[in-house]
Amino acid sequence: MGSTNSTLSKIPNVEELMQETGFTPAHIVRLYDRFEALDKEKTGHLRPQDFGAINRLAMNPIGDRIIGAFFSPGQETVDFHSFVRTLAHFRPVDKKRPKDPSMPEPVNSRTSKLKFAFQLYDQDKDGKISRAELLQVLRSMLEMQVTEEQLESIADRTIQEADLDKDDAISFEEFRKVPPARALRLTYQHGAFAAQGTQNTKTCKVHAHRK
């Protein structure tokens, strides 16, 4: 516990951060350690290259997009607070959280999770997944195993399937409509989506923040 406290004291505004993200001190410490490990040059900021240094991430077809999601537009670096805030998307949904309309939507709500996922597709941030953007994602996930033609027909089909307002693009509203079709499975997906970021930290109990 002593080490926990000492680490916590190194982080500025740690209380606020915990309040905002819902992480427990143990989480924060764990993430801080990880952050420092990634931050090889000890600048207190992570650059895209630092993320790129993670081996397995480099093999992830949409890894660069996820890295991109950590960086707010126009910024070259991410500090610990933003880092934690981004990861907080992956916390499980707080079911018990009292509905407080005055509070902003918690970052780990289902909507913001979906939003996060949506942004992975929507690279130009125009609020729509265009055909080209979808094609890009598909291409990176499918690699070169299928021909461009096939990719396009898949993309066309996907958009037609989801596109409710016929603008040849998937808006966020449409995007969030699609998954519930097989609600259960995808809820699990989101659940898993939610928790992995923090749940498996060996230093802390998952349920610690459940209360």
Partner 1 sequence: LTHPLLSSHPVPHPVLSPPLTSPPPLPPLLSSPLLSSPLLSSPLPLLSSPPSPLLSSSPLLSSPLLSSPLLSSPLLSPFVSSPLLSSLLSSPLSYPLSFLFHFSQRFTTVVPESCMLILLGLVLGGIVLLTSKKQLYQLEPGLFFLFLLPTIVGDAGYFMPARLFFDNLGAILLYAVSSCWGSGVQAGLMEFLLFGALISAVDPVAVLAVFEEVHVNETLFIIVFGESLLNDAVTVVLYKVYMSFVEVGPENVQTADYFKGVASFLIVSIGGTMVGLIFAALLAFITRFTKKVRIIEPLLVFLMVYLAYLTAELFSLSAILSMTFCGIGCNKYVEANISQKSRTTVKYTMKTLASIAETIIFIFLGISAVDKSKWAWDTGLISCTLIFIFVFRALGVVMQTWVLNWFRLVPLDKIDQVVMSYGGLRGAVAFALVVLLDAERVPAKDYFVATTIIVVFFTVMFQGLTIKPLVNWLKVPRATNRKPTINEEIHERAFDHCLTAVEDIAGLNGYHHWRDKWEQFDKNYLSKLLLRKSVYRKSELWEVYQKINIRDAISVIDQGGNVLTSARLSLPSMASRASFPEVTNVTNYLRENGSGVCLDLQVIDNVPGAKVEEESETHHFLAGNLYKPRRRQTLHDSGDHERQDREIFQRNMKSRMETFKTTRHKRHSHKKDRSQKKRRGSDVKEQDLNDKPRRNVSWQDKDPVVVPVESEDEKGEHLEPEKEEDVGITFVARKVPDTPKERPKSVPAGLEVCQSPSVAPPSPTCSERNLPWKGGIGTLPVCVSMEATKIIPIDLQQAWNQSISSLESLASPPGPVEPLHPRVSALSRLGGQRPVSYSGSGVSGSGFGSRGAGSIVAQGIARFEFPPGGEEKDEEEGALSDQEQELQPLMSSSVRPPGPPPPPPLAQGLGRRRNPCVYLRSLVTAPPPGSEPLARSRGPTQL
The total number of residues shown for the chain amounts to 211
Lookup: tokens for 178: 């699609």
- Asked if 139 interacts with partner 1 (CB under 8 A), we say no
Among 10, 97, 141, 173, binds partner 1 (CB under 8 A): 141
Q: Distance (Å, rounded) from C-alpha 132 to C-alpha 59? A: 23
Site string for partner 1, 69-108 (x = CB under 8 A): ------------------x--x-x--x-------------
- Tell me the C-alpha distance between 115 and 24, whole Å: 24
70 in Cβ contact with 82 (< 8 Å): yes
Q: Among residues 167, 194, 187, which one has the least CA distance to residue 23?
A: 194
DSSP single-letter state for residue 99: -
> Of the two residues 48 and 101, which places its CB atom closer to partner 1 in the complex?
48
Interface residue with partner 1 among 7, 66, 68, 79 (CB under 8 A) is 66
Inter-residue contact 155 to 131 (CB < 8 Å): yes
End-to-end CA distance of the chain: 20
Tell which positions 14-43 bind partner 1, by CB under 8 A.
31, 34, 37-38
Residues ≥6 apart with Cβ < 8 Å to 99: none
CB-nearer residue toward partner 1: 99 or 202: 202
Name which of 102 and 179 has its Cβ closer to partner 1: 179
CB of 190 to partner 1, least distance (A): 8
Residue number, 4 or 60, with CB nearest to partner 1: 60
Nearest of 36, 57, 61, 33 to residue 46 by alpha carbon: 36
Which CB sits closer to partner 1, 8 or 38? 38
Helices (H), 122-182: 131-142, 148-162, 172-177
User: Can you tell me which of 23, 32, 51, 80 binds partner 1, judged by CB under 8 A?
Assistant: 51
# residues contacting partner 1 (CB under 8 A) = 70
**Contact footprint for partner 1 (CB under 8 A):** 31, 34, 37-38, 51, 54, 56-57, 59-63, 66, 87, 90, 92, 95, 117, 120-121, 137-138, 141-143, 145-147, 149-150, 152-154, 156-158, 160-164, 166, 178-179, 181-201, 205-207, 210
